[in-house]
Amino acid sequence: MDDLLTTGLKRFGLVAGLSLSLVIAGCSSDDGKKEEDNADKPETTASVSEAVNYTITGIEPGAGVFKAAENAVDEYELEGWNVQASSSGAMATALGEAVKNEEPIIVTGWTPHWKFAKYDLKYLEDPKGVFGDVETINTMTRKGFKDDNPNAYKLLEQFEWTTDDMEAVMAEIEEGTSPAEAATNWVEANEEKVATWTEGVEEGTGEIELVYVEWDSEISSTNVVGKVLEDLGYTVTLTPLDNAIMWQAIAGGEADAMVAAWLPATHGDLYEQFKDDIDNVGVNLTGAKIGLVVPTYVDIDSIEDLEAK
Ligand code: PBE
């Protein structure tokens, strides 16, 4: 893969070098060079826009990052661009294929995610701040859950980990381990950290339903929390839902808890909509981020470098 990337970098370096000489040629004599000068720009920037067919490879349309990408198309006046609805898995496959073939691609991306360890990637700068800043992932329960299950609630209150922790679970799943097994392995390998979550928590019984969306990050966190609750004696069900439905299920009391609320920006609209009917337990991870992500060999740095169709 290193070789492929190096080749990709060389290729794009060559294009950049070529355009520089055209610009210099354009500067040295004014007459007759104008066209070449202008023609040079699409070479570098529009070629990326063109090569990706004015398409951002998206994920589930209910995801905050998908909606933010659509806002970015508006805010940066990218007429003719399309944010393609897909799934997190299909996006990752498309990204992997593009890197293998050294082709440009723009995806809706987020951190924590295993893709940053596997490929050389960068976030496109977002001077308009459409994708928000660094944010937190938060735990939410239905109202009344605390009274019904004070011990499980205490565990959820004490559940907090790092992007590295989450990425370790994600990486194992990406390599083919089942989510449940990867969660078990992580819990066994991180007894001390788990002990801080279960400190003062007594064993319990009964059923707990955790809801989540099948994003790689949330598959990891939900399975880990589910495993710890199971170890405490609860019967745990993990139910994958669409994003808005997940929030609705907690607000309506149909499900007990989720650890998948990205705030303040990514799920800010959903939080506003449901916050009065939800118990916000608190932060479980800091350092989360969303944005447009490209392989480093793609020769643009900012969303502003993209061009309308
Ligand atoms: N994500 C992963 C979600 C939150 C977690 C970034 C894909 C979203 O955009 O809603």
Q: Which helix (H) or strand (E) holds 82?
A: strand 82-84
In which residue are the tokens 């990706």 written?
52
Q: Is the CB of 243 under 6 A from ligand 1?
A: yes
Cα of 189 from ligand 1 centre, angstroms: 27
Give me the tens of pLDDT residue by residue for the chain, a chain 309 residues long: 344 433 333 333 333 333 333 333 333 334 444 444 444 444 455 589 999 999 999 999 999 999 999 999 999 999 999 999 999 999 999 999 999 999 999 999 999 999 999 999 999 999 999 999 999 999 999 999 999 999 999 999 999 999 999 999 999 999 999 999 999 999 999 999 999 999 999 999 999 999 999 999 999 999 999 999 999 999 999 999 999 999 999 999 999 999 999 999 999 999 999 999 999 999 999 999 999 999 999 999 999 999 999
Q: Is the CB of 262 under 6 A from ligand 1?
A: yes
pTM of the model: 0.85
Cα of 266 from ligand 1 centre, angstroms: 7
Please state, in angstroms and rounded to a whole number, the distance separating the CA atoms of residues 280 and 301: 37
How many separate helices (H) and strands (E) can be counted in the chain? 14, 9
Q: Is the CB of 65 under 6 A from ligand 1?
A: yes
Of residues 192, 183, 196, the one with CA closest to residue 157: 196
